[in-house]
Amino acid sequence: MEGCSLFVILLLGIGCGQLVAGISVEKDLSLTLSQKNALDKFRAQVEPLLDQSYMKNDIYLIRWLRARNFDLRSAENMLRENLKWRREQKIDGIRKEDWNDMRRDYHATIDTYDKEGRPIGVIDIYDWDIRRAVLQGKGQRLLRYMDYLLESITTQVFERQDRGMNVTQWKVLGNADGFNLIEHGCPLCIPLWIQFIQGLENHYHGWLDELIVIDAPSTINVILEAVRPFLTRQTRDAFRIFGPNKTKWMPYIEERIAKSERRPQYGGTKPPVNY
C-alpha cells in the first residue's frame, strides 16, 4: 500500500493491492511460542498493578504487548501510563456518570453486533456538531463523553468473553452524510479530533476491529490528513472509508453485519432510536 495515498484509495472503496483484513479473533488470541513466553513474563511483572479482574484476561495484557511490539519494558510503561490516566480521570466510574446532556445532542448507539458478535459503536456524524461543542466550552466534555463510549463498548467485549463468547474487539460504523468543514472541520475542531485520536491510541489501542464510514464526502480527507500523523499503522489499516455510492458500501456491510443489527440508514431493519 505504500506509495499510494491510503485515504484517497479507501475513499474510492477499492484497494491498491489487497485491503488488509481486520484481525480475526483467532489471530488476536493466537501467539507464537516466544510471544506466549513474553505474555507469561509480562503477566508476572505487572500482576500487582492490575486492580480490576478484567485486566487479568490474556486479551487485555496482549493489547499492551502488541502495541509495543512485545517489548516488555515499553509495554509495561504504556500500561502504567494507562492505569495512571484511569486513576486521575476516574475512568472506572465513567459509565455511572450522567451523560444525558451529551446523549441528547451527540447520538451514538452501542446496542448492535456484527456477525462475529463484536459490539458496534454507531455514530451519525450529521448529529455531531463539534464546532458548537467547542464554542459552548464543551470540547473537553465531548472528549470525555467519547471516552465514556469507548469504555462502555470495551466493557461489552469483556462481558461477552465472560459469557464464553470469542469476542476480542469492537467495530465503529459511521454515516458521514452531512459532514461539513464548518461544523466538523473548523480550525477549533481539528485539535479535538487529534486529541481524540491520541486518546484512542494511548488508551484503547488494538480494540478497533474496523472503522467503517459510509457516505463520506471527499472533504472528510481534511480530517483524515490532520489526524494521520497521530495514527498507528494498525489503526489506519482498520479504516474503511466509503463514498456515497451505495453499491460499493452495501455489500461490504452486508457481509459483516446482519440486517437485523443495522438501522435503516445502513440498509437494515432494526427500528431507529427515538432520542
Ligand X SMILES: *[C@@H]1O[C@H](CO)[C@@H](O)[C@H](O)[C@H]1NC(C)=O
By CB under 6 A, name the binding residues for ligand X.
26, 164-166, 245, 247-248
Least CB distance to ligand X at residue 242 (A): 10
Q: Which is nearer to ligand X, 11 or 123 (CB)?
A: 11
Least CB distance to ligand X at residue 7 (A): 19
Which residue from 25, 95, 110 is spatially nearest to 59, judged by alpha carbons?
A: 25
Which residue from 65, 4, 18 is spatially nearest to 37, judged by alpha carbons?
A: 65
d(CA 146, CA 119): 16
C-alpha cell, 208 = 478497533
Q: Which is nearer to ligand X, 32 or 247 (CB)?
A: 247
Q: Which is nearer to ligand X, 242 or 266 (CB)?
A: 242
Q: Which is nearer to ligand X, 27 or 41 (CB)?
A: 27
Least CB distance to ligand X at residue 33 (A): 17
Least CB distance to ligand X at residue 162 (A): 12
Least CB distance to ligand X at residue 30 (A): 9
Q: Which is nearer to ligand X, 33 or 44 (CB)?
A: 33
Its sign, for the CA torsion 159, 162, 163, 165, is positive
